[in-house]
Amino acid sequence: MCRWIAYKGQPVFLEHYITTAEHSLIHQSLHAEQGKTETNGDGFGIGWYGTRSEPGIYREVLPAWNDCNLKSLAAQIQSPLFFAHVRASTGTATSRNNCHPFSYGPWMFMHNGQIGGYEHVRRAMESQLDDYHYGRRLGTTDSELLFLLALQEDLQSCAVKALTKVLIKVRQYMLDKGVADALRFTSCLSDGKRLFGFRYASDKFAPSLFYRRYDNGDVVLVSEPIDRQSECWTEVPQGHSICFTENKVTLRELAF
């Protein structure tokens, strides 16, 4: 499994959550305690919103803990909303274009999970992309493909609806191809203003999703808690989405 963290709140230096703290993502990428995959050494990425509507993206195939550029960038860049992701490949190659987060215009997406039998449904899914989104396919992961399909389903209008539609379709492709493995999808999405989390699986084992909300309104949304104050972390139940806007937290059951 991959690991990731998303932050929304007062502008902070990225390093606070990515490189310096004891429970920063880098520390986690070396010592994955709760995930199935033992090491998250198959590339990483960060994405952040600055003064432009499109996020900045930095992705690299080295293990995050070995990248001195990441250390310097995380020490310089401040942002009110950013993602960081360390990858443990579930089969596809380690290349920058296969690293999360993925972005399109102001949207940014990262994912933890897997389409069961991806090699059997990949083609059917790719053929669903219209020419415009097909031309924006740069890597080979299921994650990027899910993001492109959601963009095509008008993610911009309603992110929850778009992703639900995509998951229903993918589930159908898997059934059509007789894939017995599960579809598991825990993900994070943003348009630079709102922060969304999704937690879904076709079986009972959706990858975990937690958040912590500080008194000042700052929010940290993560694949796993980054400290041991477990009472401070709220688990998003399977089959739900969560949305953080300036003042509100909205938890919704996904409608399948």
Residues of this chain that bind its own copies (CB under 8 A)? 30-31, 38-39, 41-42, 48, 50-52, 54, 56-63, 65-66, 68-69, 72-73, 75-78, 89, 93-97, 119, 122-123, 127, 131, 134-135, 138, 140
Q: How does strand 102-104 pair with strand 56-60?
A: unpaired
At its nearest, how many Å lie between its own copies and the CB of residue 210?
A: 23
Q: Which amino acid is at 188?
A: C
Neighbours of 152 (CB within 10 A): 18
In the bound state with its own copies, the residue whose beta carbon lies nearer, of 77 and 201, is 77
Q: Which residue has the tokens 């059997």?
A: 120
Whether the CB-CB separation of 108 and 190 falls below 8 Å is answered with yes
At its nearest, how many Å lie between its own copies and the CB of residue 66?
A: 4
In the bound state with its own copies, the residue whose beta carbon lies nearer, of 24 and 164, is 24
At its nearest, how many Å lie between its own copies and the CB of residue 134?
A: 5
In the bound state with its own copies, the residue whose beta carbon lies nearer, of 74 and 242, is 74
In the bound state with its own copies, the residue whose beta carbon lies nearer, of 62 and 249, is 62
Give the neighbor-by-neighbor strand order of the sheet with 195-201: 102-104, 107-115, 183-190, 195-201, 240-244, 249-253
In the bound state with its own copies, the residue whose beta carbon lies nearer, of 53 and 250, is 53
Q: How does strand 183-190 pair with strand 195-201?
A: antiparallel
How many Å from the N-terminal Cα to the C-terminal Cα in the chain?
A: 25
At its nearest, how many Å lie between its own copies and the CB of residue 201?
A: 25
